[in-house]
Amino acid sequence: MSEKKFEELQKLYDNPKVGSLVQEICEYYATQDDYESNSYQDEIEPPEIVESVYLLFCLQSREQILDEMTLVQKKYPELYRSLCGMHNTLLINMDYRSLEEKCGKKIAEYAKDTSVDEVLSRADSLARSSENLSVAVDKFYSWLHNRAS
């Protein structure tokens, strides 16, 4: 990770206007470039699953997340370069249900014997019952790991 990205990430963590989920997403995308080809495969889920989970939970509070990403765009341009594709995906998909369905399908295919409806229902339930979306994502991964094994 470049020195500039690292500095911006440090400042981002101190910014109370950016929630923990957007901070986590920024860190994920900023550090993703540092992995050598397939060196992370044993450590985390495939990028298409991680990105689908992030998008699914961003959709749970879309307007707030878009505001936070716009703030990242203005104040932290180096970090924003890494996540601009995700931000654009959230912006251009005004019919968020189709994006939600697409993400749910990718996740359901990854987890064994899991339907899209189960994925979407679990995401919705966790987003409503958790103290913040980052905690909800962690709980979702626990559930997902139990399903995928």
pLDDT, residue 142, reads 94
Q: Which residues contact 85 (CB under 8 A, 6 or more apart)?
A: none
Instruction: Please say if the pLDDT value at position 68 is more than 50.
Output: yes
pLDDT, residue 57, reads 97
116 versus 44: the higher-pLDDT residue is: 116
As a whole number of angstroms, the distance between CA 142 and CA 45 comes to 12
Report the predicted TM-score, pTM, of the whole model to 2 decimal places. 0.89
**Lowest-confidence pick of 27-36, 64-73, 80-89:** 27-36
Instruction: Please say if the pLDDT value at position 70 is more than 50.
Output: yes
Q: Do 123 and 60 meet the contact criterion of CB atoms below 8 Å apart? A: yes
The domain locations on the chain are 3-148
pLDDT, residue 147, reads 81
Arithmetic mean of pLDDT, 4-30: 95
